[in-house]
Structure 1
Amino acid sequence: MTLSPPASGRLADAYDLVIFDLDGVIYLSDSAVAGAVDAVKRLHDEGRAVAYATNNASRRATAVADLLTGLGVPAAADEVLTSAAAAARRLADRLEPGARVLVVGAEALRQEVAERGLTPVTSADDKPVAVVQGYGREVGWVILAEAALAVRAGALWIATNTDRTLPSPRGPLPGNGSLVAVLRTALDREPDEVIGKPEPVLFEEAVKKDSARRPVVVGDRLDTDIEGAVRAGMDSLLVLTGVSQPRDLVAAPEHQRPTYVAKDLAGLFDDVETLAVTGEGTGWRVTDGRLEGHGDPIAALRTIAAAAWSGTDVTHLEGAGDEAASALRTLGLGSVSRS
């Protein structure tokens, strides 16, 4: 699926399915991101199709839907796609019914594995034929040691995702990728398969379920949400409410560059021409190491990112005037001195 961004109109009107990441986009831990509830409710009120695709394997789809509903976001379980469910499906496709699987993660992952007709175990002594690893707050040395022994004995090793961090109101916390790194170090090898983003599996499932022809992915992480959208050939919107920040966007490699950038989900109702990462029509320009112009700092960010992606050195960008210097300070970019 390869799309050309529409030339004008609201972003929400340009696509027939909006696929949301959750952590850092809709909520942080169990608290709603500012403006997120109103934005998603507005989409529902307008009859827009939505889906939620999360790498977090610590909740099942029903629990995620309940959490969203409790926050005021209209959501049904069949709109939620989790890496836990996708990993369990993949295991069921590859293994014999009743096969033993050592589960590293939360109870939600264990339940998904059991419901696929497989047998969850917790010890390498049970001779599991596979290890599935997902995020869980209670994951510790004991279960990681059992997983290492099982993989070393020949078990298939599947990770639900490799997100290094999880966003939270207190700042980034260790994610499943940090736990996968423990086994990677102990085993000196990579997992046999990673299911979640940036792999396009969850996005492809969402598109298939809704028979969508023009989906857009909304996420807060360049290395999972946006890269996953690029791999799937889908347009994407980066919101700056979670992990990836302006400096990350400016330095993004080609395979992690979003189609659009917005401060938050209110951007869904802005014009696509305004949101697109280009150096045109923003009120800003980058010339000879200087940011010039006036207007919204996020518009300045789009201009700076476009310049950087085209090969312009923006490492020591300076603001030409008070407003430009203020925009750079707000974005955490450049030397922010006036010239």
Structure 2
Amino acid sequence: MSETLVDRYDALLIDLDGTVYRGKEVVPGAAEEIAKARAKGLGIRYVTNNASRSPQAVADHLVELGFDTSIDEVSTSAQAGAAMLAERLPKRSTVLVLGTKALEAEVLKRGLIPTDTADGAVAVLQGLSMDLGWRQLAEAAVAIRNGALWVACNVDVTLPTERGLLPGNGSFVAALKAATDAEPLVAGKPATPLLQQAAKDLQANRPLVIGDRLDTDILGAVNAGMDSLLVLTGVSTAAEAQALPDEQKPTYVGADLSVLHRLP
């Protein structure tokens, strides 16, 4: 039999929005192509910068869309961000959380104490919440200026929605940067912690990162020293990939996930 792309790897680290679904619609054939890769023995991990939903909610959404998956195959930037804090702080340290209840839950799982005030906070963990406002950003600014460790789950400036591009977590991170003259550590793509943790969880030696965005998925793979596949079902185009410096280009470009079962 001829070699296929999946024969070269032992795990797939797969982006979600724009790669396996677009909003509430499945990318045609995505579930079937991933199922075939799993049947060949590859580890599967859905790796998302979205820090506002719990891993269980992400898994439930995928199942609703027809994917055969579970919470064990989901890695979020909320998990990666909480893990970064747990590596750097003593147990039961107080963390000011900017984000949803799902982000607070990840902080609690790591033995840390979430709070919504700067008083006593030794760290700030920032993720996107649709209810985030000035008062929460002000508390975070006070904590950061007082020396709190600052971790951003991701720095995506925009959020794709049915209404178009809306402010993403990176827009609020930029506001705090301006207010504090500080720079956060970053958990999500294109930083490396999220991808590295996903590969470690799978005990993968040859992971392939798959996504639709050059500035997060592919650059994250480059930064982590991993091979990558850009699929043309979302944001970035083949022309944009070709225009990049060689060291930033994806390893492969394919129209969709069907390229996994042949060579591009």
TM-score (norm 2): 0.92
Give the structure with higher Rg (CA): 1
Query: Matched residues in 2 for 1:178 and 1:28: separation?
Result: 22
Write out per-residue CA displacement over residues 66-96 of structure 1, whole angstroms, 9 at most, x where no aligned residue.
1111111111212111111111122122112
User: Which runs of 5 or more structure 2 residues have no equivalent in the other structure?
Assistant: none
Question: Does the CA contact (< 8 Å) of 1:12 and 1:269 recur in 2?
Answer: yes
Question: Does the CA contact (< 8 Å) of 2:207 and 2:227 recur in 1?
Answer: yes
Q: 2:117 aligns with which of 106, 117, 123?
A: 123
Write out per-residue CA displacement over residues 188-246 of structure 1, whole angstroms, 9 at most, x where no aligned residue.
3321x111112222222222222222211101111221111112221110012222234
Query: Matched residues in 2 for 1:210 and 1:97: separation?
Result: 26
Please state how far the C-alpha of 1:166 moved relative to its aligned partner: 2.8
Counterpart residue type for residue 258 of structure 1: P
Would you say 1:152 and 2:145 are equivalent positions? Answer: yes
Would you say 1:239 and 2:231 are equivalent positions? Answer: yes
Please state how far the C-alpha of 1:247 moved relative to its aligned partner: 4.2
Counterpart residue type for residue 85 of structure 1: Q
Please state how far the C-alpha of 1:127 moved relative to its aligned partner: 2.5
Q: 2:10 aligns with which of 6, 16, 22?
A: 16
Would you say 1:168 and 2:161 are equivalent positions? Answer: yes
Identity over the aligned pairs, expressed in percent? 52
Would you say 1:104 and 2:98 are equivalent positions? Answer: yes
Counterpart in the other structure of 1:287: none
Query: Matched residues in 1 for 2:149 and 2:205: separation?
Result: 35
Counterpart in the other structure of 1:213: 205
Would you say 1:141 and 2:137 are equivalent positions? Answer: no
Q: Return closer, same or farther for 1:255/1:30 CA change in 2, 3 Å cut-off.
A: farther
Aligned-partner SS, 2:161: coil
Counterpart residue type for residue 259 of structure 2: G
Question: Aligned residue pairs: how many?
Answer: 263
| Structural RMSD (CA) | 1.9
Counterpart in the other structure of 1:266: 258
Question: Does the CA contact (< 8 Å) of 1:55 and 1:82 recur in 2?
Answer: yes
Query: Matched residues in 1 for 2:223 and 2:260: separation?
Result: 22
User: Which runs of 5 or more structure 1 residues have no equivalent in the other structure?
Assistant: 1-7, 276-339
Question: Does the CA contact (< 8 Å) of 1:222 and 1:252 recur in 2?
Answer: no
Q: Return closer, same or farther for 1:214/1:96 CA change in 2, 3 Å cut-off.
A: closer
Please state how far the C-alpha of 1:255 moved relative to its aligned partner: 4.3
Would you say 1:184 and 2:177 are equivalent positions? Answer: yes
Q: 1:223 aligns with which of 206, 210, 215?
A: 215
Counterpart residue type for residue 237 of structure 2: Q
Write out per-residue CA displacement over residues 148-170 of structure 1, whole angstroms, 9 at most, x where no aligned residue.
12111221111011112233344
Question: Does the CA contact (< 8 Å) of 1:167 and 1:242 recur in 2?
Answer: no
Question: Does the CA contact (< 8 Å) of 1:131 and 1:150 recur in 2?
Answer: yes
Aligned-partner SS, 2:62: helix
Counterpart in the other structure of 1:195: 187
Q: Return closer, same or farther for 1:170/1:249 CA change in 2, 3 Å cut-off.
A: farther
Query: Matched residues in 2 for 1:264 and 1:100: separation?
Result: 44
Aligned-partner SS, 1:238: strand
Query: Matched residues in 2 for 1:134 and 1:234: separation?
Result: 25
Question: Does the CA contact (< 8 Å) of 1:239 and 1:264 recur in 2?
Answer: yes
Query: Matched residues in 2 for 1:179 and 1:147: separation?
Result: 11
Question: Does the CA contact (< 8 Å) of 1:172 and 1:243 recur in 2?
Answer: no
Counterpart residue type for residue 48 of structure 1: L
Query: Matched residues in 1 for 2:131 and 2:246: separation?
Result: 37
Question: Does the CA contact (< 8 Å) of 1:20 and 1:217 recur in 2?
Answer: yes
Would you say 1:67 and 2:61 are equivalent positions? Answer: yes
Query: Matched residues in 1 for 2:256 and 2:165: separation?
Result: 18
The structure, 1 or 2, with the larger RCO (C-alpha pairs under 8 Å, 6+ apart) is 2
Query: Matched residues in 1 for 2:21 and 2:135: separation?
Result: 31
Query: Matched residues in 2 for 1:210 and 1:93: separation?
Result: 20
Aligned-partner SS, 2:75: strand
TM-score (norm 1): 0.72
